[in-house]
Copies of this chain bind each other. A is one copy, B any other.
Amino acid sequence: MSELTELIERVNGFAAERDWDQFHSPKNLSMALIAEAAELVEHFQWLTEQQSYELPEDKLEQVRLELADIFVYLLRISEKLGVNLMQAAHQKISLNEQKYPADQVKGSSKKYHEYKAKSR
């Protein structure tokens, strides 16, 4: 069993044992996921970019567990929707490689965020 499948099974089991599936509609899970993403944002909102690279030990540990929370909800909603996250991620990167060819966007005068804006 792959490490990801093992984690997915553990995540699913946790919810099933507690009879919490009833609350886990994709709609609700999308809300829970963004709430966790905001917990992450909160840790960085008053820091400079430089400070965000140099988190003290205790802060890094909190951030680590927020990343875990986001990952768990991401796996949960993927399972509910029948989405293979690994496949989807690889496919998205391939799409981005075509959209932003390295030789064209690297060192270009166009700002990075203009490329990102065009991906919407």
- CB of A30 within 8 A of CB of B41, answer yes
In contact, B88 and A18 (Cβ under 8 angstroms)? no
| Interface range, A side | 35 or more
A-B contact pairs, 9 of them (CB 8 A): A2-B2, A7-B86, A11-B93, A20-B112, A25-B50, A31-B42, A38-B38, A46-B111, A65-B92
B72 adjacent to A89 (CB under 8 Å): yes
Q: A71-B88, A96-B14, A107-B19 are in contact. Are A49 and B35 (CB under 8 A)?
A: no
Rounded to whole angstroms, the CA-CA distance of A105 and B26 in the bound complex is: 22
- Do A40 and B33 touch across chains, with their CB atoms under 8 A apart? yes
Q: Among B14, B22, B47, point to the contact of A27 (Cβ < 8 A).
A: B47
CB atoms of B49 and A41 under 8 A apart: no
How close is A105's CB to chain B, nearest CB, in angstroms?
5
Residues of B within 8 A of A109 (CB): none
CA gap between A39 and B18 in the complex, in Å = 25
**Given A2-B3, A18-B102, A93-B14, A83:B112 Cβ within 8 A:** no
